[in-house]
Amino acid sequence: MAYSAMQVANAFIQKAQSGQIADLTPMKLQKLMFFAQSWYLRTKNTLLFNEAFARWQFGPVIPDLYQEFRGFGASVINRFACDALGNQPQITEPSILAFLDKIIEVYGQYTGPQLSAMTHEPGTAWSINQNCLYIDPSDLLIGRL
């Protein structure tokens, strides 16, 4: 079952609030989402969430999440994402939360700009097919991580 990007974002925010991720800014969140989607697709052969990443100047971005958190600028996110009804969708599945813990172990110590630089390296999903606005899941599979 694919989750919404908002649910996955809220799981990362919860982990930041519990001290597992330092300085979770909007940029850092977007890049953690990118690495989570990429690794989930590679290991499970399915998407973790359905929303697509756009190729923006500073790396892959989910536009709806950008709109949700853009008011934070480069500051730490201090609230959960809310849907149109004001709900804060969460993930409770232990295996998904454990998977996100692994993403945090590998990428959580980096800053947003450091993670952005990683997404810009040659051969990454962001850097291939630059003529396309959105990153196709096939790019996530073949792109370097």
Tokens coding 58: 């500073």
According to the model, what pLDDT value does residue 114 have?
97
Residue pair 115/25 in contact by the 8 Å Cβ criterion: no
Task: Give SS3 for 49.
Answer: strand
According to the model, what pLDDT value does residue 84 have?
87
Furthest-apart CA atoms within the chain: distance in Å: 41
Pairing verdict, β 134-135 and 59-61 = unpaired
According to the model, what pLDDT value does residue 11 have?
98
The parts of the chain modelled with pLDDT lower than 70 are: none
34 vs 83: CA distance, rounded Å: 21
Residue pair 33/5 in contact by the 8 Å Cβ criterion: yes
